[in-house]
Every structure is written in C-alpha cells, then in structure tokens.
Amino acid sequence: MQTYNKIMLYFWLFAGIISFLIVTYNCVTIGIDKWGSYYVSSVIAFLMFFFKRWMMKRMEKHNEYLSSINESGTHSKNSQSNTSN
C-alpha cells in the first residue's frame, strides 16, 4: 500500500503541473476567456497532492502510535503472565 500511495502522490503532482502548463499555453495562444476556467483542474490536482501528502504523514504517525501501544501492551501482558505463575 505504501508504494501505491507514493505513486498516487506523484501522479497528482504531475497532473497538476501538466494541466497548469497546458492551460497556460492555451490561454496565451487561444485566449484566456475560453481557457481561464480550466485552471480549476490544476488547483484541484494540487489540492489532491497536498491532501494526499498530509494524509500519508498522518497515517505514518498513527501507525507509530499503534506500534508503540502494541509493544507496551505486549510487555505488560507478558509481565502479568510471568507474575501470575
């Protein structure tokens, strides 16, 4: 899942950059009145990139938290079972 998330992260960045360049080129050559509204697609792609990156960092912190709880919970269970014997 980690590989998929990284691929999608860079996909959104690439989509944002490419769409921004295409829309800018078309605004210059054809006219901003026809192509200006397409900047919304670039903004959405960049927002998806930043949201995906934020969620990946949040998930990493959550996984670290869960692993620390599992480690401390495992040690306390082992110590309780050793004292009861």
Q: What is the pLDDT of residues 26-81, one digit of tens each?
A: 999 999 999 999 999 999 999 999 999 999 999 999 999 999 998 887 655 555 55
User: What is residue 82's predicted lDDT score, i.e. its pLDDT?
Assistant: 55
Contacts of 23 (CB under 8 A, 6+ apart): 35, 38, 39, 41, 42
User: What is residue 71's predicted lDDT score, i.e. its pLDDT?
Assistant: 85
pLDDT band at 2 (very low <50, low <70, confident <90, very high): confident
User: What is residue 72's predicted lDDT score, i.e. its pLDDT?
Assistant: 84
User: What is residue 30's predicted lDDT score, i.e. its pLDDT?
Assistant: 94
Contacts of 34 (CB under 8 A, 6+ apart): 26
Instruction: Quote the domain boundaries for residue 73.
Output: 2-84
Domain count, the chain: 1
User: What is residue 75's predicted lDDT score, i.e. its pLDDT?
Assistant: 56
User: What is residue 64's predicted lDDT score, i.e. its pLDDT?
Assistant: 92
